Chains A and B, each alone.
Chain A
């Protein structure tokens, strides 16, 4: 029993904790031991918060004994290192924040703490969430547990690799252009990017504020439902938080789906899609049909413009957001600055890595005098066109389906010298962020022994339906149960 705790679902662990089969302290020690034993070769966890974790586990056990525990009480979680955690180092994968101990908790961290979850530590990520392979982290790349010569995807690559390797029960991630869904796909786990505004961005280090959204990364849709219910909700500290009740995602997982219409996005099955990936998607679609849902082809004719528009909007917002890293109030400061300008310029040159600098500079250029109309305004118009494509599609169907990435995990170093080829690995995920829609990636059949991600997209605030469809597909398949060997 104790030896396979890391294979159990949240519901199973929760009932085991309630029944006294094991304690949260035992469960926490089990995962801390696994991280120490297995993470050396993965580099998925940047900071282990052992002492705090055991304190939180102790408190959870007391709460369980007192009879006021919720479904997440006592369950261990890993947070992406983009979430501020009070008293625990928060690096955002950057040298800039190498010594940054956050003075406060992100709202997501607070909410999961209040639910009784136990934070094991912080996961590695692409620097400031800018990357699709985890290779831009100042703290070294994360390796994919399915093949350690391959990338886990990014930017939430540490969270994805950790859950795939069963180093935690669940993890948080953030998704600005695919940073939850693409690593979830490449590591064979379930990852959900909620509707923009559904989960508070307070205390989540900002990259592109009109796109950033936090979500759960778990082994199943059912686990994701429990996590999202605790993460979501209105927060007056986030000016774009939406004041709207949170659905009972877990309670609705078995809702009838017979009349559901699923649209297969034509443009996501074009020439860019690998043959093995295509076959995996077709198997998943066939399984979906046995649930009684109706499938038909739909078109998002302008989705090809989403990557170009994204690489204006995201860098423009990042150039503004990252201006706060100036070497004055927190973060890295250069030695012996000659004057204030030298302090800014050298602190930023030393603190930021090459990809972050590239994006800040692209954004600075796009927003500079004389270029605004040609770049930023144009991109916001393209964004509207892309959102209109989705509006039309959702007038015909309830859910859209496609792959989450064009291919399985690529090799370390394969794309790191060519920013544009790296950017195109997010070709199927970015449109969703531009429109602000919810979407998830879940495991489809393996392709040559590597995970493949099936992406499901729904209309605004219909996460409940998205999770129900994914859950029911996981009830009739076992793709999500496959574990990389050695873990």
Chain B
């Protein structure tokens, strides 16, 4: 299956990855060949098969609704690209 060039651009946008115009064609070839591999699944009739949700038959574990973690804001922000007054800085969003 081959993707259209504008589909590749749309996927890149949804994935929030900048792709230069010159990269689209090569990327299209690669993604299309992977989708070609994936589409072999269609040969298998799975109409009566329940999709697998989890490899083990286990319920989601619950825990009491109590505070278990302490604040590590300073430690965590020490590896951030830009912070100020305990906040993460990004380009202005609201004018």
Contacts and interface: CB of A to CB of B under 8 A. Distances in A.
Contacts of B80: 328-330
A333 B91 CA distance: 12
Interface stretch (A225-233, A267-275, A288-296, A359-367): A359-367
A65 B16 CA distance: 55
Interface in B31-72: 31, 33-44, 46, 49-56, 58, 60-61, 63, 72
B11 interface: yes
Contacts of A100: 79
B79 A330 contact: yes
Contacts of B8: 361
Nearest to B82: A333
B52 A383 contact: yes
Interface string A52-75: 000000000000000000000000
A308 B39 contact: yes
A423 B35 CA distance: 12
Interface string B81-95: 110000010111100
Nearest to B50: A384
Which label, helix, strand, loop or mixed, suits the secondary structure of the A interface? helix
Interface string A250-277: 0000000000000000000000000000
B90 A380 contact: no
Interface stretch (A13-21, A108-116, A339-347, A396-404): A339-347
A26 B50 CA distance: 57
Interface stretch (A117-125, A142-150, A371-379): A371-379
Contacts, number: 163
A279 to B, nearest CB: 29
Given A308-B40, A345-B18, A420-B34, A381 B51 contact: yes
Contacts of B15: 319, 348, 357, 360-361, 364
A479 interface: no
B14 interface: yes
Contacts of B16: 323, 326, 341, 344-345, 348
A339 B41 CA distance: 41
A420 B63 contact: no
Interface residues of A, number: 71
A396 B27 CA distance: 46
Interface string A381-419: 111110100000000000000000000000000000001
A333 B89 CA distance: 11
Given A348-B17, A368-B11, A311 B56 contact: no
A133 B23 CA distance: 24
A366 B7 CA distance: 12
Contacts of B3: 365
Interface string A286-320: 00000000000000001011011101100000010
A264 B23 CA distance: 45
B53 A101 contact: no
Contact of B44 (A340, A358, A382, A460): A382
B15 to A, nearest CB: 4
B31 A382 contact: no
B32 to A, nearest CB: 10
A407 B37 CA distance: 21
Contacts of B92: 339
A322 to B, nearest CB: 9
Nearest to A302: B44
A352 B17 contact: yes
A435 interface: yes
A305 B91 contact: no
Contact of B11 (A195, A307, A361): A361
Given A311-B38, A330-B80, A382-B44, 9 more contacts: A197-B56, A305-B43, A330-B79, A339-B92, A339-B93, A345-B16, A346-B18, A419-B33, A460-B56
5 contacts: A339-B92, A361-B8, A380-B53, A420-B36, A423-B34
> Sorted from nearest, which 10 A-B pairs have the closest CB atoms?
A436-B55, A380-B51, A381-B46, A333-B81, A349-B18, A345-B18, A384-B52, A344-B16, A364-B15, A381-B49
